A = this chain, B = another copy of it.
């Protein structure tokens, strides 16, 4: 093995140390989860949003002054009602598509291509935003506990994304054990906080630690219905992740549909209880949203003080939010591979990597979400206006699709009218909410999504059209076998030396006969005598014709291109194979000392029709 070969092995070993040994294809397997484990796995995304949803409501209401904050509880009740509607509707998605359809498949199948692509683009945007928002919020839980880290929040966030992406590239399976401790830890500690906090309030006990007062809040907006709607729209972030169960039905034990819809109900109940509990406690404690400390951190601090329990809540909050980001790293590559398999995204998104994961999708999601996170300064509040539009668009399309689905089944499914009615109700409600979100948060960032979504759809349609055109062009329909190729082999000769003799011999082996191979030398300086070259050629030329091209310039490409163009124009040959000899040296730095000419010509000729480049390497 050559030393260069060894370097390749070093690189390969490094890659394997980082990402693990390649796995054979048959190792693809599906874990079946108990309902308790499944809840832990699929709930992290949905439940984690309670870490920021209440805060987002407050941040809108506070614009109209402290008095407006009391509207937070009614808004929360409206959102809980919405959770109930969506969950009921999605129970039916789970039952109708036990194979785990997701909004893209449901919309595509029942409503047609365009709604399908709308759902796909909405979902993809939301996957990226889930990562950015969850990580930003998880980092906020950490910096609330350790304020010194606030200045490093973007760096910490990008690092978190990189670690999650790396774990997914290694092919971290959604092992239930990894999820159960933080999910149930988070739920348990947060419930404890709510119960203890509300109990202390009921007993008239003040907070353990004083929270900042509300005296210095500037009123910048009037308290209008629009503001309340905007608060509602912001709080709708609580619903993100609710659909995760419907994408993973296959992971449940039999009877799949019944178990999945049961877990869906549990998730909705837990989500509603936690969200409402936090909002009520926040309201009782007169919490004000702060820049440097989250609302959850404030209520926990007021309830327990800076005790270990407080740090426990912050820790589990951060972990569950990172796990929520991880959910997107499972969902996005899978969705992208399905859409790509349908021809609407680049095909390499369908390729399973060494570790049986869609590596390209993981890298793409990591890059986009890191850019989002950094671009919005790592602040949850600035990302939220972009969020949730996509979620509600996909909710609407999935449920509208299901209405059509039930109608199709009207012959076999006795209950189809009731089922269709439930989904129709869900579709209408979520459509209205999507409009409310888009309208109230339009100027705050939702407009970006409303530009990106059509752009994505346009791109997907163009990609599909391209693949379609290629397929049509390559089709074998009515094609006769092409005629044999008449190929001229041209080997570029700089000077005559040992390696060059081998290159010439190689070139000769490619030619059909002695006429079909030529050595070409380009003479750049007219004053240099070329006797030594021709003499050496005569001695070693191996019977191959030497063509000397003269040029007034130093660029080798143009005289060579002119020559090849002439050859092809003559019509004797319809293809030229250009053999470019190259050194292979022992050390990487020696590479810098050679092969400039071959590399430059390779790049220059790469797009010249009728020319095939063959790199002949000789080893020193």
Contacts and interface: CB of A to CB of B under 8 A. Distances in A.
Nearest to A524: B25
B352 A554 contact: yes
Contacts of A483: 505
Nearest to A355: B554
A476 interface: yes
Interface in A583-601: 583-585, 590, 592-594, 596
Interface stretch (A253-261, A302-310, A365-373, A506-514): A506-514
Contacts of A553: 22-25, 354
Interface stretch (A1-9, A138-146, A237-245): A1-9
A168 B606 CA distance: 29
A25 B542 contact: no
**Which range holds the interface residue count of chain A?**
35 or more
A487 B613 CA distance: 16
A354 B609 contact: no
Contact of A475 (B497, B509, B555, B613): B497
A352 B553 CA distance: 9
Nearest to A495: B474
A590 B459 CA distance: 11
B612 A2 contact: no
Interface stretch (A106-114, A212-220, A281-289, A343-351): A343-351
Interface string A482-508: 111111000000001111111001101
Contacts of A469: 620
A381 interface: no
Nearest to A616: B612
A209 B470 CA distance: 77
A25 B351 CA distance: 51
A450 B497 CA distance: 40
Given A351-B554, A487-B509, A525-B25, A466 B590 contact: yes
A30 interface: no
Nearest to A24: B552
Nearest to A596: B348
A19 interface: no
B501 A479 contact: yes
A35 interface: no
A554 B614 contact: no
A566 to B, nearest CB: 16
